[in-house]
Amino acid sequence: MRWNSFFSPTLRDAPSDAEAVSHKLLVRGGFIRQLHSGHYILLPLAHRVRKKIISIIETEMDAIGGQQVQMPTLQTASMWQKSGRLESMGDIMFRLQDRHGTEAALGVTAEEIFAIAATEITSYKQLPQMWYQIHTKYRDEARPKSGLLRVREFTMKDAYSFDLDEDGLDASFKHQHEAYTKIFERMDLKAIPVEASSGNMGGSDSIEFMVQAEAGEDYTVICNGCGYGANIEKAVSQLDPIADLEAPEKPAKFSTPNIRTIAALAEAGHAAENQIKTMVYVIDGQLTLALVRGDHLLNEQKLADATGGVTIRQANSEETVRLLGAEPGSLGGVGVTELPILADLALRGRSNMTTGANENNFHLSGVDIERDIDIKEWLDLRSVQNGDRCSECGDLLKIVTTIESGHIFKLGTKYAKTFGANILDENGKSRTVLMGSYGIGVERAIATIVETHHDEKGIIWPITVAPFQVVITIVQTKDEESVRIGEEIYESLSEEGIEVLLDDRDARPGVKFADAELIGIPYRITVGPKGIANGVIEFVPRATGETALIPIPEVTSYISEIVRT
């Protein structure tokens, strides 16, 4: 490709509303333009990168027996109704009507369709199957952000496996896991597989592939000691035991004027770790108390997972007052019998604690949690905090921000059963197939690579996904000798199958160098009178910036060698 006719509108300044590094660089480099919030135009540079990533994914999916298909993205609401996700997806789903008034939706994900397609499988002899598509997904995100990292319309590779039994599902899951490892390696993303919640997808054995990056939106707990890793929505840790003084025979009410926070109560002499924090939630319409230790944070996803709740929100103060008789800040579980009370495991066995008295400006001390509160269930509800110890090895845990780059999980019969994906086994008995679901966001991968591969000058693409592998910068387009040699190298490298961008633009060298560095092409060849006088060109890897002088006749073999390895 000749830069003279290649469209790559680079900018000196990033748009003022771009925050994430990848967002700024992709816009400045002329890869993308925003159409409106959450929808981006992919210009030629981005499209080339996207194709590279898709090709890597396809190769690895095919290598584990994946068969590519293409599903409709416009789907009837009734299909989603059947799986129950028309409701549970909530506002994330774009909904519309056709001319007959039939309710429809745009594809958010495709478990339903694949389960329907799987009804075509009739015999155990046809199993296992692994199907995938690389297709557009639509999600009406509450807040699209950070350029390509969170958008409303994007390309996803979504794969679905179909197996006869658990062993088969385990094998399919393992194949995907291994394929993901290869895919991320090939894109040079250091993706850490971590335990995760499967959210409203339903299922078990949920593993997310997380890439550490400042712009990441997920919190991941990592142990340097043993390699334990888990999404904060799932992570566990061990706590130092607390030796409580014996509680008095019964709780004592005491006056706490204007004390409404854990911190204020702690200042008044009741250490946060000796307090019970009482939170009121509405879980699928049911008001519920959730208790955690005063210095702990409740994780709503854990609450949702533990209760199987689909819609969860904190109760408003009106509901709270109506049911408990007090406002947040003075709430507690003592004496509450009409609401289910869920308590975090860290509270188990604790006594002599302090909690709200369900009367504004009063608290109770000397509370023995098991004796005084009618706990319905003990659950893991708390978020791991920085400095907690690993429950595997005891080492310190740390919390890092990460980008969720891939997610694989086992669905079991959840969708297969609903849509009747049954087969006959070797005994002629009808069985429901077991499904797994495996996703990677393509444009998010583009952004994630940029987040982790850049410097102050711009992007540094890994060669495997770079829009071009080599750029030839002709320093002086008016110098005929330079142009001739540049063209020659361009021709011979292109014949070698190398993707070359020939910078034949009539621009000043500084502009050309800056552009080449901004868009991040891994290798640059500089052709100019200075080098030609000595029979050489300059070769500069983008990553190191270290210039090597290569004799002109050796250029093609030298570069092909490097690009291929």
Partner RNA sequence: CGGGACGUGGCGCAGCUCGGUAGCGCACCUGCUUUGGGAGCAGGGGGUCGAGAGUUCAAAUCUCUCCGUCCCGACCA
- Binding pattern to RNA, positions 148-177, x when CB under 7 A? --x---x-x---------------------
Label residues 99-136 b or e (16+ Cβ within 10 Å = b): eeeeebbbbbbbbbbbbbbbeebeebeebbbbbbbbbe
Token pair 């991320």 is at which residue? 184
- Quick one: CA dihedral 517, 518, 520, 525, positive or negative? negative
Q: C-beta of 394: minimal distance to RNA in Å?
A: 29
Q: For strands 276-283 and 312-314, give the pairing.
A: antiparallel
Query: Which one, 121 or 151, has the nearer CB to RNA?
Result: 151
- Binding pattern to RNA, positions 276-315, x when CB under 7 A? ------------------------xx--x-----------
Segment 105 to 134, residues that bind RNA, using CB under 7 A: 109
The residue from 234, 372, 517, 522 that contacts RNA (CB under 7 A) is 517
Query: Which one, 15 or 225, has the nearer CB to RNA?
Result: 15
Helix axes 44-63, 166-186, angle to 10 degrees: 140
Token pair 């709270």 is at which residue? 320
Q: Phi/psi at 444 (nearest 5 deg)? A: -65, -35
In terms of residues, how long is the chain? 565
Dihedral angle, C-alpha 458, 464, 468, 471, nearest 10 °: 70
CA 185 – CA 192 distance, rounded (Å):
11
Tokens of residue 379, six digits: 């659950």
Q: Residue 370: CB partners within 8 Å, gap ≥ 6?
A: 348, 349, 351
- Is residue 61 part of the contact set for RNA (CB under 7 A)? no
Query: Which one, 428 or 553, has the nearer CB to RNA?
Result: 553
Tokens of residue 340, six digits: 């289910």
Is the N-terminal amide bond of 462 cis, ω within 30° of 0? no
- Is residue 140 part of the contact set for RNA (CB under 7 A)? no
- Is residue 15 part of the contact set for RNA (CB under 7 A)? yes
Tokens of residue 306, six digits: 């533990």
Tokens of residue 152, six digits: 């409303």
Question: Is residue 211 a contact partner of residue 405, using CB atoms and an 8 Å limit?
Answer: yes
- Of 5-13, 65-73, 377-385, 419-427, the window that binds RNA (rule: CB under 7 A) is 5-13
Q: C-beta of 472: minimal distance to RNA in Å?
A: 12
Give the interface size with RNA as a residue count (CB under 7 A): 64
Question: Is residue 368 a contact partner of residue 334, using CB atoms and an 8 Å limit?
Answer: no
DSSP assignment letter at 447? H
- Binding pattern to RNA, positions 237-276, x when CB under 7 A? ----------------------------------------
- Is residue 526 part of the contact set for RNA (CB under 7 A)? yes
Query: Which one, 366 or 531, has the nearer CB to RNA?
Result: 531
- Binding pattern to RNA, positions 446-465, x when CB under 7 A? -----------x--------
- Is residue 509 part of the contact set for RNA (CB under 7 A)? yes
- Is residue 529 part of the contact set for RNA (CB under 7 A)? yes
Q: C-beta of 11: minimal distance to RNA in Å?
A: 5
- Is residue 201 part of the contact set for RNA (CB under 7 A)? yes
- Is residue 551 part of the contact set for RNA (CB under 7 A)? no
Query: Which one, 251 or 439, has the nearer CB to RNA?
Result: 439
- Count of CB atoms within 10 A of residue 433's CB? 28
Query: Which one, 121 or 196, has the nearer CB to RNA?
Result: 196
Element spanning 494, H or E: helix 480-495
Q: For strands 353-356 and 362-367, give the pairing.
A: antiparallel
CA 141 – CA 86 distance, rounded (Å):
16
- Of 98-106, 198-206, 235-243, 267-275, the window that binds RNA (rule: CB under 7 A) is 198-206
Segment 374 to 433, residues that bind RNA, using CB under 7 A: 407
Q: C-beta of 353: minimal distance to RNA in Å?
A: 26
Q: C-beta of 407: minimal distance to RNA in Å?
A: 4
Q: Phi/psi at 440 (nearest 5 deg)? A: -140, 130
Query: Which one, 11 or 226, has the nearer CB to RNA?
Result: 11
CA 451 – CA 210 distance, rounded (Å):
13
- Is residue 511 part of the contact set for RNA (CB under 7 A)? yes
The residue from 5, 7, 17, 257 that contacts RNA (CB under 7 A) is 17
- Is residue 513 part of the contact set for RNA (CB under 7 A)? yes
Q: C-beta of 439: minimal distance to RNA in Å?
A: 3
3-state secondary structure of 439: strand
The residue from 472, 527, 550, 559 that contacts RNA (CB under 7 A) is 527
CA 422 – CA 164 distance, rounded (Å):
10
Q: Give the residues across from 550 on adjacent strands.
A: 537
- Is residue 510 part of the contact set for RNA (CB under 7 A)? yes
Q: C-beta of 217: minimal distance to RNA in Å?
A: 5
Q: C-beta of 200: minimal distance to RNA in Å?
A: 5
- Is residue 34 part of the contact set for RNA (CB under 7 A)? yes
Query: Which one, 412 or 528, has the nearer CB to RNA?
Result: 528
Question: Is residue 399 a contact partner of residue 279, using CB atoms and an 8 Å limit?
Answer: no
The residue from 11, 226, 264, 268 that contacts RNA (CB under 7 A) is 11
Q: Roughly how many angstroms between the first and final C-alpha of the chain, as a whole number?
A: 23
DSSP, residue by residue, 353-366:
EEEE-SSTTEEEEE
Binding site for RNA (CB under 7 A): 10-17, 19-20, 34, 36-38, 92, 109, 137, 139, 141-146, 150, 154, 156, 198-201, 217-218, 300-301, 304, 407, 439-441, 444, 457, 475-476, 478, 506, 508-511, 513-515, 517-518, 526-532, 538, 540
